[in-house]
Structure 1
Amino acid sequence: MTFFEAVGGEPTFRRLVDKFYEGVAEDPLLRPMYPEEDLGPAADRLTLFLVQYWGGPSTYSDSRGHPRLRMRHASFRVDADARDAWLRHMRVAVDSLGLPAQHEAELWSYLERAAYFMVNTMDPAEPAH
C-alpha cells in the first residue's frame, strides 16, 4: 500500500491543501506570491503535485511536465521568513488531518525538507541549513 492510499487518497490531500490555503489567503507575506486572484488554481496544482509525489495518479506531470519546483518558484523571493510562514500554515493543515503519528511524521518531514529546499534568498544573518 502506498502512502497515498494509507492516508486516504486524494480527499486527504485536498483537505490538507484547502486548509493550508485558508492560512495563505490571509497571510500578508505569502499572499502576494500568488498572482492569481483566486487561489483555486494554485491549490489544484499543489494537490495534484502532492498526490503524485505520494503515490497517486500522475495527473500533475501529465498536464504540467516535470515539477521543477525551484525553477517554477525562482521568480519569487523565498527567504527564511517566507519559508517559516509557509511552514506555519502547513503545520496547521497537517494537524487538521488527524493522521496516525507515523504518517503525520513522514508527511511533515517531507514538507519541512521541501520548504527549506525552496529558499532562494538568504538573509546574511541566517546560516545556511
Structure 2
Amino acid sequence: MKEIPRGTLQEQTFYEQVGGEQTFRRLVHRFYQGVAEDPLLRPMYPEDDLGPAEERLVLFLMQYWGGPRTYSDNRGHPRLRMRHAPFTVNRAAHDAWLRHMRDAVDELELAPELEGQLWQYLTYAAASMINTEG
C-alpha cells in the first residue's frame, strides 16, 4: 500500500464544508426575512433597512466558521454580549430568534452532521444572549 505524502490532504474548514460564503448568505438572508415580519424581534433592529444587520451577521458567521476575517477587520472583536446589551433579550426573544434561524437552517439542507454542528452553535449563542428574565 502506497503511503499518502504528508500535506497532500488538506482539512476543510466548516465554512468550506457547507459551501462557503453563498451558504452563509442564504442562511442569514432567510433568517432576516423572518425577522422583518416578527413583531418581537423587528424593533431590535433600529435601522429602517435590515441590510446592514444582515451583512454584519453574514460576516460574523463566515469568520466564526473559518472563512474570511472581514468581520474583525471592519468591526474589531465581536463582543456579542456587549453589542446586544442595549436590547431586551428574554426567553421569548430567544425563542423567536431560534424559530427564524431554524427555518433558515432547514432550507440549507445540509448534511446531518454539519447541520447538527451549526445548530448546536446557534442554540448556544442564542442562550448566551439572554439578558432579561421573562
User: Would you say same fold, with TM above 0.5?
Assistant: yes
Name the structure 1 match of 2:17.
Answer: 6
Name the structure 1 match of 2:41.
Answer: 30
In structure 1, stretches of 5+ residues that fail to align are 124-129
Name the structure 1 match of 2:66.
Answer: 55
Aligned residue pair count: 123
Name the structure 1 match of 2:90.
Answer: 79
Output one character per residue of 1:40-69: Cα deviation in whole Å (capped at 9) or x when no partner.
000000000000000000000000000000
Q: Displaced runs of 4+ in structure 1, greater than 3 A?
A: none
> Sequence identity of aligned pairs in percent?
70
Name the structure 1 match of 2:50.
Answer: 39
Q: Give the aligned CA root-mean-square deviation in angstroms.
A: 0.4
Within 1, Cα distance between the matches of 2:51 and 2:81? 21
In structure 2, stretches of 5+ residues that fail to align are 1-11
Output one character per residue of 1:105-124: Cα deviation in whole Å (capped at 9) or x when no partner.
0000000000000000023x
Within 1, Cα distance between the matches of 2:22 and 2:133? 36
Name the structure 2 match of 1:113.
Answer: 124
Structure with greater Cα Rg: 2
For normalisation by structure 1, the TM-score amounts to 0.95
Output one character per residue of 1:6-42: Cα deviation in whole Å (capped at 9) or x when no partner.
0000000000000000000000000000000000000
For normalisation by structure 2, the TM-score amounts to 0.91
